[in-house]
Amino acid sequence: MKFPDSPKAHTGSPAEQALTESLKELADIKFALDQSTIVAITDQRGTITYVNDAFCRISRYAREELLGQDHRIINSGYHSKEFIREVWTTIAGGDVWRGDFRNRAKDGGIYWVDTTIVPFLDEQNKPYQYVAIRHDITQLKMAEEQIRQQADLLDKSQDAILVRDMDDRIIYWNKSAERMYGWRAGEVIGRRTTEFLFRSISPEYGQAQRMLLERGEWRGEFNQITKDGRDLIVESRWTLVRDEHGKPFQKLVVNTDVTEHNRLQGVLQRAAQLSFVGELAAGLAHEVKNPLAGIQGAVDILIRRRDPNDPEREALEGIRHEVTRIDATVRALLDRARPRKLNTIEVSITELVTKAVSVARAQAIAAAARGRRVQIMFTPPGEDIAVKADPAQIEDAILNLIINAIEAIEEEGRIVVGIRHQSSEEYGEEAIIEVADNGRGIPEENFQRIFNTFFTTTTGGTGLGLPAVRRIARAHGGRIEATSTVGEGSIFRIHLPLNNFP
């Protein structure tokens, strides 16, 4: 096939006339084709034998520069060898090839053409030339690229971005949504978020929907769940997307996971509250401590003056007990408010525990006055353990645990205090001070909270004791552990490191 020049008007035999007409028709077809398509013809080796104007326009080469060359002249280096090989095997085998080429024009500009290469076959069915017919699809490819880049950007966003149609079915779900919720796009497209992102649908959800339609946007917080059942708090921003006629047709949703942020906010708020309470407590404690010491002294004198059988003596003992308790609370408050600096020296743990036990025994005697019989047992270990510690603070911590144990015993019970040495791979060498009681034990729901400041189950408790014990243990580079069984009792252990103390 060869595109001839436009035929001149011809008058002759009917055969010549028919020929003239079909040549004219061919010229018209070529003209029509030239208007809309980019045409090139090559021989069987790929050497260009014909190009139309559209080819010259888009490639910015003059016809003379193209004829006799092959298409390498516009090759942009974008396509792989395999791609080119596939083109050639298809057309050399006599089949039509269709695909997109990315080419480079003479001025270096890149253009895309959708291409159909048709092989023309001789009598042996061998291609003797190829005709390439193409269309400029540069704009389309650029738009595609832009969309891909935007989609990449959406995927890089930390926020879950989703689009719902007006029937609330998901039509877009970005990579962050996959990461945040654990659901893959393929699993959720076509579904409603209310089917799988919420434990229950709150009334706010309906309000949000109404507000979105009325105002075109909505912003708020939701409790949601992930695919594996984790709870999330998300800040959600909804925007109503309208079509070119202003009719609502999609809902764009951007969700930010604020679970951790909210938790930290809570912690900060609590810390601020505590520091306020701490200041208040420190002030109050100073005001209370002096008069309390006065009352304590006066009550002691009154008790000493009473005969052991004096009925008023019991009441006075009761007052002394309460005063001691107030004093302990005030001390704990002070401890909490202004954690004392550690004054560490090398001390004998046996000595510390012995002191704490003897103070606690006085408490146990007072408890006996109120009908509780508590026995405190302590057998010092054969070999003493020395630690570097603040003796006053450790003594306070042990005393605190023993007093708690006394309180946990309802009528009659036993507290066993022990010291031992333990070495483990995780914590190295440690001294362990253990306080075990056979009191009422701590129910599971309370056990989680026993180290929370101000958490208490006893009417006279402050909820400051155990947090203070933990703080003291931690300040020494150690820790506190507890186990408890309702009806059987509790065991608290203070672990103090022997070697890795800072």
Per-residue contact string for residues 44-63; x = within reach of ligand FAD by CB under 6 A: -xx-----------------
- Closest to ligand FAD by CB, 117 vs 405, is 117
Instruction: Record the tokens describing residue 50, joined without a space.
Output: 């014909």
Measure CA of the first residue to CA of the last residue in the chain; give whole Å: 93
Using CB under 6 A, pick the residue from 84, 105, 211, 392 that binds ligand FAD: 84
Q: Are 155 and 175 in contact, with CB atoms under 8 Å apart?
A: yes
Smallest separation, CB 67 to ligand FAD (Å): 14
With CB under 6 A as the contact rule, which of the stretches 16-24, 71-79, 271-279, 485-493 interacts with ligand FAD?
71-79
Smallest separation, CB 216 to ligand FAD (Å): 48
Ramachandran angles phi, psi of 450, nearest 5°: -65, -20
Give Dmax over CA atoms of the chain in angstroms.
156
Using CB under 6 A, pick the residue from 61, 101, 112, 173 that binds ligand FAD: 101
Q: Are 463 and 407 in contact, with CB atoms under 8 Å apart?
A: no
Smallest separation, CB 85 to ligand FAD (Å): 4
- Closest to ligand FAD by CB, 88 vs 501, is 88
List the beta strands (DSSP E) in 20-109.
Answer: 38-43, 48-51, 97-104
Q: Is 72 in the site for ligand FAD (CB under 6 A)?
A: yes
Q: State how far the Cα of 388 lies from the Cα of 372, in Å rounded to an integer.
A: 36
Q: State how far the Cα of 258 lies from the Cα of 236, in Å rounded to an integer.
A: 10
Q: Is 71 in the site for ligand FAD (CB under 6 A)?
A: yes
Within 8-47, the residues that bind ligand FAD by CB under 6 A are 42, 45-46
Q: Is 99 in the site for ligand FAD (CB under 6 A)?
A: no
The Cβ of residue 108 has, within 10 Å, a number of other Cβ atoms equal to 8
Per-residue contact string for residues 158-197; x = within reach of ligand FAD by CB under 6 A: ----------------------------------------
Per-residue contact string for residues 122-151; x = within reach of ligand FAD by CB under 6 A: --------x-x-------------------
Using CB under 6 A, pick the residue from 17, 31, 88, 190 that binds ligand FAD: 88
Q: State how far the Cα of 56 lies from the Cα of 60, in Å rounded to an integer.
A: 5
- Closest to ligand FAD by CB, 129 vs 176, is 129
Side-chain-side CA neighbours of 257 within 13 Å: the count stands at 18
Q: State how far the Cα of 400 lies from the Cα of 406, in Å rounded to an integer.
A: 10
Q: 128: closest CA among 46, 50, 71?
A: 46
Name the DSSP letter for residue 192: B
Binding positions for ligand FAD, rule: CB under 6 A: 42, 45-46, 70-72, 74-75, 81, 84-85, 87-88, 92, 101, 103, 117, 130, 132
